[in-house]
């Protein structure tokens, strides 16, 4: 499913006045973790009287593990009788991951960045290394996203909600936290949240900013109704 970032961003609290506070906290943490462009749809529900916090989120497509061959062409080079493995970088986004991998494997002293797009690595058997290196995994965006989504959830949970449950499957992240044991009906409610989020059709509203420019914001109909005082 291809979705624009934050196609739906809903926060509901049984204490209505607290909903905007939780929305602000969530938005700030998403910004800190650079998740705003990765999350397509998110809904949070908080029931203080039941000590219950639930989050359902659908992410944009998460990249598969990144191998060296996905971001650089690997070859050999010889200078002054010294053999090197040569990396011609094609996707600069993963340059820090490649550099970190090479430093760990060969030590920084043997890794030379010729220019912005070229790295040379001293090696005893450059040809052999150049054969095996392209298949090496240097980054796993899915693992990083999983960790960041857990961090987002934990930082938004009310203090004392230490019983936690989460799943992350097929770009869908579900999180529940409580002071007490999580009951089957609560889990079923969270799963229903996810189902509704998956099938929701957002309304697009045009909002005038202070500078006169317009921005488009997608909202689910239920959120618009809540803002208009029409109930949840």
Residue 79 in domain: yes
User: What was the pLDDT predicted at 36?
Assistant: 84
**b (16+ CB within 10 A) / e for 156-172:** bbeeebeeeebebeebe
CATH code assigned at 70:
3.30.70
Whether 133 and 146 share a structural domain: no
What confidence score (pLDDT) does residue 117 get? Answer: 92
Q: Measuring CA to CA, which residue among 79, 92, 58, 46 is closest to residue 170? A: 58
User: Reduced to 3 states, what is the DSSP secondary structure of residue 42?
Assistant: strand
Task: Spell out, as residue ranges, where the chain has pLDDT lower than 70.
Answer: 1-5, 203-232
Two structure tokens written together for 3: 């979705």
Among 89, 124, 139, the domain boundary falls at 139
Number of domains composing the chain: 2
My answer on whether 130 and 148 are in the same domain is no
Q: CA end-to-end span of the chain, whole Å?
A: 27
Mapping DSSP to helix (H, G, I), strand (E, B) and coil, where does residue 157 land? coil
Residue 31, domain extent:
8-62+142-200
- Segment 166-218, tens digit of pLDDT: 999 888 999 999 999 999 999 999 999 999 999 988 765 544 444 444 445 55
d(CA 132, CA 188): 47
pTM score above 0.85? no
């Amino acid at each position: 499913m291809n979705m624009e970032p934050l196609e739906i961003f809903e926060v509901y609290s049984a204490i209505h006045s607290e909903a905007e506070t939780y929305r602000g906290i969530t938005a700030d943490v998403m910004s800190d973790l650079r998740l705003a462009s990765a999350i397509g749809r998110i809904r949070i529900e908080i029931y203080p009287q039941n000590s219950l916090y639930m989050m359902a989120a659908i992410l944009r497509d998460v990249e598969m593990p990144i191998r060296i061959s996905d971001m650089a062409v690997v070859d050999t080079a010889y200078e002054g009788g010294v053999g090197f493995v040569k990396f011609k970088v094609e996707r600069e986004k993963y340059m820090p991951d490649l550099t970190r991998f090479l430093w760990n494997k060969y030590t920084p002293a043997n890794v030379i960045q010729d220019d912005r797009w070229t790295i040379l690595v001293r090696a005893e058997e450059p040809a052999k290394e150049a054969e095996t290196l392209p298949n090496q995994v240097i980054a796993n965006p899915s693992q990083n996203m999983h960790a960041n989504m857990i961090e987002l959830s934990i930082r938004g949970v009310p203090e004392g909600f230490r019983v936690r449950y989460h799943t992350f499957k097929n770009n869908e992240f579900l999180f529940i936290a409580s002071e007490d044991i999580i009951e089957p009906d609560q889990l079923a409610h969270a799963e229903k949240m996810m189902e509704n989020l998956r099938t929701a059709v957002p309304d697009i509203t045009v909002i005038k900013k202070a500078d006169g420019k317009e921005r488009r914001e997608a909202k689910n109909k239920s959120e618009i109704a809540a803002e208009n005082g029409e109930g949840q």
